[in-house]
Amino acid sequence: MNAVARGFSILPREVRSPELPDGTLNRLSDNPNDVPRGYALTVREFEVLRLLAEGASNKVIARRLGISFHTAKFHVASIAAKLDATGRTDAVAQAVRLGLILL
């Protein structure tokens, strides 16, 4: 209930992204044409991406996840690079388009 109240979606197990052996999460969509082959974000990057979707700044992300500001900034840059995004807003838009997150 708390997760839903914070804006997260509860999805059936068969719809959620399966965890891969190397600690990454696969994309939500099963259509291989949706994203580049082998594409994956780490579990931490998905956490950061969800906070980005809420509009959190790097400082807020760092505080919520218990990491340094610089680490949060690194994760945001990594997400943007993996999604071929021009910035944090574009990264969220790309993630929604690719089915990685639901708003």
pLDDT tens per residue across span 55-69: 999 999 999 999 999
pTM over 0.75, yes/no: no
Residues with Cβ within 8 Å of 79's Cβ and at least 6 positions away in sequence, in order, are 41, 45, 48, 49, 52, 85, 91, 95
Q: Rounded distance, CA 1 to CA 3, Å?
A: 5
The Cβ of residue 9 has, within 10 Å, a number of other Cβ atoms equal to 11
The mean pLDDT value of the chain amounts to 76
Rounded distance between C-alpha atoms, residue 35 and residue 4, angstroms = 27
